[in-house]
Amino acid sequence: MTEIELTKLEAAAARLVTSITGDEAEAVVGLSRWMIEQAGEFMKLAEALPKTETRLAATRRVVSPPDKAEDPYNAIVRWVEVLADPNEVTSKLLAGKRVALKDVIAVAGLPLTAASGHLIDFVPEHDSIVAERILRAGGRVVAFTNMEGMAFGSGGESGIYGATHNPVDPSRSTSGSSGGSAAALYYDGIDIAFGTDQGGSIRTPAGWCGVIGLKPSHGLVPYTGILSHDPTIDHVGPMARTVREVALALEAVAGWTAGDPRQAAIAEEEIGGYVEAVDNAPDRLEGLRLGVLAEAQLNDGNPERQAVLESFAVFRDRLVALGAEVVDVSIPSHAVAGPIMFAIMLEGIAATVMGHGQAYHWSGSHSPATRRAFGEGMLARGAELPPAYKAAAIAGEYLRVEELGTVYSTAQNVATTLRGQYDTALESVDAVVMPTTPGIPMLLSPQASLFDQQLRSFTMASTLGSDTPAHNLTGHPALSIPVGQAMGLPCGAMLVGARLSEAVLLSTARTWEKRFGWFPEVPGTR
């Protein structure tokens, strides 16, 4: 611990909007110093205490940075080779599968930057639970993927590695923040990719790139060892070109583990059966009742929006042709899910930055090394935070101080109402369906002003057609599948189910896949 200077204690008091004055000053200073010294004594004792974290025995190395020839879409930030020792492998679920991870998912001994300059020197000491489970299932981690800076935004242009290009039309965006994970699936050397999703960051790139992306139920997949925005909306999930590969990946990584408070609700739940559900998917959808969400059909007359809705109408008709019963449902609060999500995310991000990359007030697995790296990175290069993320943190801290936390707490209350409305709707249907995104992939804008470039990226927070944020707020599973095209570009549809109903969603998607395939078509996958 550093010397306990009076000026630093006074500064700490000022940040808490209090002061060290009057008759109590001597006692408060003395008590504060004594308490800090006790913390210092604990840190000395902690060095001798047994450590609970282990490091999986594995080959771990950076192979090379990508070059243009092997990474034409700028989807990769580093090629790696991570493979568990045979004695550490406990299943063959992912045997032979080559897996890419978004550059926020920790693998011990390899760099993790979150596409932000302030984390450029960070090398995690421990594996994320997701990485460990991939390796134990026989998977091979081969790449870390490009992303929005600090996983904030949906334009695909804000990270330090530059924009990721859409494989269907490289002049256009993949969306974000997991855009690199979606685009990397077009490379022969990658079978499965993982992204994170705090407002649509798996599903919007999946929709725009023509791949499959699953945001699982909140807490189904452990988030331990992954950089967070706010624990109440954090999700991590798989992306792939076939439903079976998504199911394999989910089977490998889902399930409870000690140390992640996001998982409290699944500790006693029976989970799994995703591969079996896909392998046994029927050829038709008789007996399945699907609800088309009225609030996702809003049309402002924009030609792109019109094209998306026309593509979705074809999807709806084909569901009926497959034998599904399709009805209309209404979830009124869905229409304002984007603003609700934004209100939570701003103060959530500010609190995470103030907590040096992790939240307070929960027990479980914390990473002191991550916290130190985040904090030291802020002290040395805090100005290098991605502009949109920096603005969000500043706005969140402003709201915390000026509005006394009432914006965040009000938004969380409204999210509870939205969750209840979804639960009610899902009592009468097996899944709710809607377009994944309100429009087609954006043209990349390298010449646009920083303000305009960043502002337009927040399509997820627009009031009209912002369909993905709702399910981060409610925690329901949401699967984006590439069912058609709008103006010649991929167009996704989302299936949203009851909590922990991933098997139902994947089975439904497989039935569609067997009959219609995907756009763009993937050879040999029907």
Q: Which conformational region is residue 491 in: left (phi greater than 0), alpha (psi within -120 to 50 degrees), or beta?
A: beta
Q: What's the token pair of residue 188?
A: 């022969």
Residue in 97, 102, 215, 390 annotated catalytic? 102
Residue in 177, 181, 333, 507 annotated catalytic? 177
Residue 150: closest CA among 389, 492, 337: 389
Residue 484: closest CA among 433, 519, 441, 517: 519
| The pLDDT value given to residue 506 | 98
The amino acid sitting at 213 is: G
Longest dimension (CA), the chain: 80
Q: What size, in residues, is the chain?
A: 526
**pLDDT tens over the chain, length 526 residues:** 567 899 999 998 998 889 999 899 999 999 999 988 998 898 888 888 877 666 899 999 999 889 999 999 999 999 999 999 999 999 999 999 999 999 999 999 999 999 999 999 999 999 999 999 999 999 999 999 999 999 998 888 999 999 999 999 999 999 999 999 999 999 999 999 999 999 999 999 999 999 999 999 999 999 999 999 999 999 999 999 999 999 999 999 999 998 898 998 887 788 999 999 999 999 999 999 999 999 999 888 889 999 999 999 999 999 999 999 999 999 999 999 998 998 999 999 999 999 999 888 888 888 999 999 999 999 999 999 999 999 999 999 999 999 999 999 999 999 999 999 999 999 999 999 999 999 999 999 888 888 888 877 776 555 455 799 999 999 999 999 999 999 999 999 999 999 999 999 999 999 999 999 998 876 555 4
Q: To the nearest 10°, the Cα dihedral for 202, 208, 211, 216?
A: 20
Superfamily of domain 58-516: Amidase signature (AS) domain (3.90.1300.10)
- From residue 122, alpha-carbon distances to 262, 363, 386 in Å are 25, 24, 16
Three-state secondary structure call for residue 118: helix
CB atoms within 10 A of CB 18: 10
Contacts by 296-304 with C-beta closer than 8 Å and gap 24+? 296/334, 296/434, 296/435, 296/465, 296/467, 298/335, 298/464, 298/465, 300/464, 302/439, 303/487, 304/439, 304/440, 304/486, 304/487
Residue in 128, 201, 311, 480 annotated catalytic? 201
Judge contact between 136 and 56, C-beta under 8 A.
yes
| The pLDDT value given to residue 526 | 43
Q: Reduce the secondary structure of 414-458 to three states and give it as a string.
A: HHHHHHHHHHHHCCCCCEEEEECCCCCCCECCCCCCHHHHHHHHC
Q: Which conformational region is residue 348 in: left (phi greater than 0), alpha (psi within -120 to 50 degrees), or beta?
A: alpha
Beta bridge partners of 496: 432, 478
| The pLDDT value given to residue 199 | 93
pTM above 0.85, yes or no: yes
The DSSP letter of residue 484 is: E
> Domain map of the chain by residue range?
6-46, 58-516
**What's the CA gap between 327 and 243, in Å, rounded?**
25
Q: Is 428 annotated in the active site?
A: no
**What's the CA gap between 210 and 185, in Å, rounded?**
10
Residue 284, phi then psi, degrees to nearest 5: -135, 170
Residue 493: closest CA among 297, 333, 231, 329: 297
Residue 508: closest CA among 500, 522, 497: 497
| The pLDDT value given to residue 269 | 82
Q: Is 514 annotated in the active site?
A: no
Residue 471: closest CA among 492, 504, 496: 496
CA angle, 190 then 237 then 517, to 5°: 60
The DSSP letter of residue 104 is: T
Judge contact between 401 and 167, C-beta under 8 A.
no
**What's the CA gap between 271 and 266, in Å, rounded?**
9
Q: Is 177 annotated in the active site?
A: yes
